[in-house]
Amino acid sequence: MSTILSVYNLGKNYVSAGRNLTVLHDVTFSVEERSMVSIVGPSGSGKTTLLGLCAGLDRASKGSIELNGVSLNGLNEDARARIRNQYTGFIFQNFQLLPTLTALENVLVPLELRGLKNVRPKALDLLDKVGLADRSHHYPVQLSGGEQQRVAIARAFSNDPRILFADEPTGNLDTTTSERIIRLIFDLNREMGTTLIMVTHDMELAARTGRVIRMRGGSIYSDEPMVS
């Protein structure tokens, strides 16, 4: 197997109200291609910050990240945006669909950013896969939370990401809807051969991935394979 993500001595500081706050300290780990990894830990332990740095949404204060063989170190926002579009999909807890675009248009965004043509059939096929073929012209406000997250999943997979980041993807959904969303993410992940890195509060859910990384106070304190 080959490594798709290498994180070495990663650190992140924020300056707020004139004070320097270190929210990640010396985080080191790597992830094999096509594997599924959960990140768990208390609120404020740095999970979202870590995921955002790995996906190139933000810049590290120190250390290094290599994503699919490309170093993110020192890249500016434009360069990181290109890498994100080329290699990653991201699913947020609060869906983050663009409210002025329909479901179909939201799914088309990553494809159009790539400058691809004739992408509607692909986007419609993805909406069909997530069970929303008949809602393609609906706006986010016309969809339930679970439906919005399914659109977000279709969007995240639209550019055939090598690696999918999901930050508490079921955190705003009821139990039944959560299970449906998780099955969808796991199934698409397997079908498309994507690597999955998922933050969750739910230990039962974490145990369904092959490996659990536990964080506390901005550091990793355990990193174990799950035996099932």
Ligand X SMILES: Nc1ncnc2c1ncn2[C@@H]1O[C@H](COP(=O)(O)OP(=O)(O)O)[C@@H](O)[C@H]1O
Task: Single out the residue of 38, 48, 170, 200 in contact with Mg ion (rule: CB under 5 A).
Answer: 48
Nearest to 52 by CA among 86, 15, 24: 24
Beta-bridge mates of residue 88? 163
β 36-40/195-199 pair status: parallel
Task: Single out the residue of 31, 34, 38, 41 in contact with ligand X (rule: CB under 6 A).
Answer: 41
Q: Is 45 in the site for ligand X (CB under 6 A)?
A: yes
DSSP structure class, residue 43: T
Task: Single out the residue of 44, 69, 193, 225 in contact with ligand X (rule: CB under 6 A).
Answer: 44
Strands (E), 103-190: 163-167
Q: How far apart are CA 2 and CA 191, in angstroms?
A: 19
Q: Is 170 in the site for Mg ion (CB under 5 A)?
A: no
User: ∠ at Cα 24 (6, 21), nearest 5°?
Assistant: 150
Nearer to ligand X, 15 or 141 (CB): 15
Nearer to ligand X, 126 or 220 (CB): 220
Residue 46, contacted partner among Mg ion, ligand X, none, CB below 5-8 A by kind = ligand X
Residue 21, contacted partner among ligand X, Mg ion, none, CB below 5-8 A by kind = ligand X
Interface with ligand X: number of residues (CB under 6 A): 12
Q: Is 69 in the site for ligand X (CB under 6 A)?
A: no
Task: Single out the residue of 10, 27, 40, 49 in contact with ligand X (rule: CB under 6 A).
Answer: 49
The SS3 assignment for 128 reads helix
Determine the residue type at 33.
Answer: E
- Measured in whole angstroms, the distance separating CA 143 from the mean position of its chain's CA atoms is 21
Residues that bind ligand X (CB under 6 A): 14, 16, 21, 23, 41, 43-49
Residues that bind Mg ion (CB under 5 A): 47-48
